[in-house]
Amino acid sequence: MEEAAHEPSLSPNGVPWLYALFYMLFIFFLFVMFSPVLLEIDQHVKKFLLKCRFTLHNIVHKDKENDDLKTDHLGRP
């Protein structure tokens, strides 16, 4: 019986490794191209969240000040 010769191939077990490599390079290229845009979006989101946080913080403190003004020194309305 003849033995089958095992030749190295780029797609063992039916997996196209060359295509997978090109796909990974393409994703990396997209990440490098769009990273400045993503960083810009991230900065805008952080600014917006900080603005919301400070707004809520000010609202809470204004409510506490208003509650203090509505009560007397014993804490009664």
pLDDT tens string, the chain, 77 residues long: the values are: 555 566 666 556 666 888 889 999 999 998 888 888 888 988 888 888 888 777 766 666 665 555 555 666 666 65
In a domain, 42, yes or no: yes
User: Measured between alpha carbons, how far is 22 from 1 in angstroms, rounded to an integer?
Assistant: 40
Domain region containing 44: 37-62
pTM comes to 0.40
In a domain, residue 43? The reply is yes
* Spatial separation of the C-alpha atoms in residues 77 and 69, rounded to whole Å: 9
Determine, yes or no, domain membership for 58: yes
Residue 75 forms part of a structural domain: no
Which pLDDT score is estimated for 65? 56
Domain count, the chain: 1
Domain contains 30? no
CB 70 within 8 A of CB 77: yes
Confidence (pLDDT) at 28:
93
The structure tokens listed for 21 are: 């490599």
Give the DSSP per-residue string, 3-26. Answer: PPP----SSGGG--HHHHHHHHHH
